[in-house]
Amino acid sequence: MRILFACGGTAGHINPALAVAGLVRARHPHAEILFVGADGGMECDLVPRAGYRIQTVPVRSLRHRLTPAALWYNLKVLGGLTGSLRTAGRILDEFAPDAVLGTGGYASFPLVYMASRRGIPSAVHESNALPGLTTKLLARRADRVLVSFPEAASAYRRPDRVSVTGTPVRQAFWETDRGAARRALGLDERPVVLSYFGSLGARDMNRHMVDFIRRESKTGTFQHLHVTGRFGWGWMPDAVRQAGVDLAAHPEIRLSEYLYDMPAAMAAADLLITRAGASTLAELMAMGKPAILIPSPNVTGNHQEKNARVLARGGAAVLLPESECGGGALFAAASDLLRENTKRETISARLRDLAVLDATEKIYHIVTSLAAKRGARGSNEKI
């Protein structure tokens, strides 16, 4: 059995594919697995670290702005699409997969599109409550459309092809022990706050966190792991120093560009401050971790706010719009939640009630069933 996973752009698209690939590998040790992402994408780092082979296609995302520069950029991206499709076709011909699973991001498009042209069974997974542009385009061609929220099924023209699966979460998010994680990270018994705003970072939120760090450095009442993301790492440590905080004198405050062992960091934390991407929410539900959710205002269809409201309506998270997220407001909200043990316990219980325990299993069965049909058809053709 040969399975091709197409994903990229952000960890929120990559990690669900890694979760499904892990189950395929566990159940079928001899299965051949190939990942395909975008040239220079973070998948080129994360996928090999997880032990899988990856190839890339020359594809970039579109910009969702109506400025002359953005329009010109988008024209160049569309102009390069022919080359992306050609590369995707070559990869499919060489690897000859039995099934293709796209888990979002612009790197999914050329692989799933070309798979449909070649009669290779394919599925596309959408984690968010609203379908992104890539999913909308591929839903017309993929054999199956997999969604995380029941409310999302009505967004597609072919409901007979839609399955509600939830969002896959790596097994480590279910199994990592809090005490062991804290010991491994060298944390003491004080509460732990973990903050991150996507694998690439968010400029405005990182700026607010500089003020947050300045305020917390005066108290020392909790420990703080902050992930700057790729775009924040170049300037944020200097900004913290300019705000008067010597990080060497405050070992309870740690900045990093990226956390490769996110399950351990989340297991160790008492509170998260983060975005509301669907993969992040699935991980929060799996671990039952209280969070202050700050949806990104810069995503298509404002889908992160819609994701967050699903949790906030049920008392499973605190929703704070970015427009209200100065460092002072964030610090006050985090401090209040850390003092309110009962509220955090209630949030944890409601998160676990919302968790889809078998999302990875559901998608595994769909993908392997597609692959089995392809394999059976191939055997018949040989006869």
Residues 179 and 296 in one domain: yes
Residue 370 has pLDDT above 50, yes or no: yes
Residues 6 and 117 in one domain: yes
pLDDT per residue over 83-135, tens digit each? 789 899 999 999 999 999 999 777 888 999 999 999 999 999 988 777 777 78
Q: What is the DSSP string of 25-53?
A: HHH-TT-EEEEEEETT-THHHHHHHTT-E
Residues 119 and 154 in one domain: yes
**pLDDT for residue 69:** 54
Type and span of the H or E element at 125:
strand 122-126
Q: Are 226 and 257 in contact (CB under 8 A)?
A: no
Rounded to two decimals, what is the model's pTM?
Answer: 0.80
Residues 159 and 179 in one domain: no
Q: 274 — phi, psi (to 5°)?
A: -160, 175
CATH number at residue 350: 3.40.50.2000
Residues 207 and 99 in one domain: no
**pLDDT for residue 11:** 82
How much of the chain, in percent, has pLDDT values that exceed 90?
Answer: 61
Residue 72 — pLDDT band, cuts 50, 70, 90? Answer: very low
Matching residue, tokens 């704070």 = 320
Residues 334 and 209 in one domain: yes
Number of structural domains (the chain) is: 2
Residues 149 and 216 in one domain: no
Residues 127 and 6 in one domain: yes
Q: What is the mean pLDDT of the chain?
A: 88
Residues 290 and 316 in one domain: yes
Containing structural domain, residue 34: 2-167+358-382
Residues 34 and 118 in one domain: yes
Q: Which of 83-92, 130-139, 207-216, 348-357 has the lowest mean pLDDT?
A: 130-139
Residues 237 and 326 in one domain: yes
Q: Quick one: average pLDDT of 344-359?
A: 92
Residues 163 and 179 in one domain: no
How much of the chain, in percent, has pLDDT values that exceed 70?
Answer: 90
**pLDDT for residue 243:** 96
Burial class (CB in 10 A: 0-12, 13-18, 19+), 254: middle
> What sections of the chain are H helices per DSSP?
11-27, 43-49, 68-79, 81-95, 108-117, 133-138, 172-175, 178-185, 203-216, 236-242, 262-268, 278-287, 303-313, 327-339, 341-354, 359-382
Residue 64 has pLDDT above 60, yes or no: no
Q: Taking Cα atoms as reference points, which of 139, 122, 121 lies closest to residue 130?
A: 139
